[in-house]
Structure 1
């Protein structure tokens, strides 16, 4: 079974080689890596082109202008041909058995949507000693995700392609992965957790995800504009989101 690995890149020259290394080190080797560069101003695209000449499993594309991660990911997804879709961002890392264990988990249990626990690392790869999505849950539903019962880090997710008619992300600048998870869960499937750290998520000083005010605004926008929830329902879900953002360990 082929796994299509989806990555958006933008000025990622510092970390993109490490990402490729963690993919190459996987114990499961039947994969293709599709990277869409979002009009980088550094040498990211040049590096990826050279890489694709050496490794036929690497397929590289480039946006005509800076367009955001959603358009970049959607382009790679549209060009992919795998039985499974996996995501990894341009500065994150996978542990060696990530793909193998996730495919086995999904095949053994007939799951279409899975995610893993992950740990946070800094720019140098040092651990913050913080693990995310390692709490005692088996799966997450649409209503659970509205209330952010789990984080579902993008670089941890794997999807079975044939289970979904549309795997494209909503065209918003941030939170597009969360918007996709909601869209898929809304079909009635659940996302199943592998409560083992198989991914390392890099936290950088200029990371969009570190700005709590922007994250809160994005969350509200998704409730009201993407999911079109009624006002009271949006307030209810936002309260759950805010409580978990403050008190989740």
Structure 2
């Protein structure tokens, strides 16, 4: 088993050495691809130094050294990966010993699968605590899509705990570069719908993520801003890919729920915002939304219901 590890790098100078060394210590790792994403610190220089020190470390940058975000950085790394398997690692995180031991065994027993997802842990620098970060219950590959959070209740995993065959991206496409957050969740759903993923080590972490009050995963405003956008994009993708209507309905139900739970102090503004969202969804695929989707009809009915119209008029 030969693995290309893709590490997007943005302002991670304090963590880079540990991340890269943790990858190089894994016997299955054949190359480490550092994609420097226009950092304002000395991350690029550290990347160059690591490439000089280790011949199997490669450094890439976007055109003109621009900052393009995690999706574009992972895509650049994937496009330059030379080996059959691809894994990911955030630059401020690290792998644990025997990171790929279980994944390798799962691939050997199931040669036709596309990927293995495993648990990771989190180290919180603010509280100096360590805990499990992933939430994984064993599910069949055919049930993974509807089990994945936030659409389902049973499974949540991170890029640090995923190992896939490079060919999976021919089935699912690359990461959506218009998403600056939730781009990984968007990809996991595409993989669950179009490929075959199995769980690996789920009772103990195979990698650790570092988290503090300024990290992206704790930037709640950014996450919230892009979460609904991710659901829009996922629903749009599901229509184009013609996946099972039950899965489309699950996406749409979650999207509509999140649209309607957003409240504005002015009821008229809330009404207009929801109406605009429904029109946008309706125009994506009139045949599905109006004639097939029960969720769309239900939320449309709740929006234009008599009592709601009266309450809006009385503002």
Q: Is the 8 A contact 2:78 2:166 kept in 1?
A: no
Over 6 Å off, 4+ runs: 229-232
Q: How is 1:63-212 mapped onto 2 (pairs within 5 angstroms)? A: 63=62, 64=64, 65-110=66-111, 111-123=113-125, 126=128, 128-139=129-140, 141-145=144-148, 147-148=151-152, 149-165=154-170, 166-171=172-177, 172-195=179-202, 196-212=204-220
Higher RCO structure, 1 or 2 (CA under 8 Å, sep 6+): 1
SS across alignment from 2:253: helix
Q: Normalized against structure 2, the TM-score is what?
A: 0.68
Gaps spanning 5+ residues in structure 2: where?
240-247, 259-315
Greater per-residue helix proportion: 2
Q: Is the 8 A contact 1:123 1:202 kept in 2?
A: yes
Structure 2 Cα separation of the partners of residues 89 and 35 of structure 1 = 10
Aligned-residue CA RMSD (Å): 2.6
Q: In the alignment, does 2:228 pair up with 1:220?
A: yes
Q: Is the 8 A contact 1:112 1:159 kept in 2?
A: yes
The count of corresponding residues between Structure 1 and Structure 2 is: 239
Choose 215-224 or 1-10, whichever is displaced more. 215-224
Deviation at 1:203, TM superposition (A): 0.7
- CA offsets, 1:83-132, max 9 Å, x none? 11100000111111012332222222333211111111034994x24213
Q: Is the 8 A contact 1:147 1:240 kept in 2?
A: no
Greater per-residue strand proportion: 1
- CA offsets, 1:220-245, max 9 Å, x none? 2111133327997446335999xxxx
Structure 2 Cα separation of the partners of residues 162 and 108 of structure 1 = 18
